[in-house]
Amino acid sequence: MKRTILVMTALLFAGPAFAQDAVIVEVPQPARDYVMAHPSDPIVVEGDLAIGTAIPEDVKLVPIPDTPEYSYVYVEKKPVIVSTKERKVVYLSK
């Protein structure tokens, strides 16, 4: 019982520390709408995708007109929006 409480307490205090490392980006709705309306050929990415995951350099990103700071790819038939400059995932479709 004491170990369970200790572990839960450690997770409670560690959680906010991990959350501080994540950068939340609000991708404009028109950019999300464009990506949904214009699917691209799907790609395969090794491992799990999450916010902040870098898309490999050999993957061709599709630009989003009127929003040059973002590009996108489709992974497993779902849109993934990335920052064009850093190639890091900023939006995952549910």
Q: Is the pLDDT of residue 58 over 60?
A: yes
One-letter identity of residue 36: M
Q: Is the pLDDT of residue 59 over 60?
A: yes
Residue 18's pLDDT band, with cuts at 50, 70 and 90, is: very low
Q: Is the pLDDT of residue 33 over 60?
A: yes
Global pTM reads: 0.73
Three-state SS string over the chain comes to CHHHHHHHHHHHHHHHHHHHHCCCCCCCHHHHHHHHHCCCCEECCCCCCCCCCECCCCCCCEECCCCCCEEEEEECCEEEEEECCCCEEEEECC
Sign of CA dihedral 40, 48, 81, 34: positive
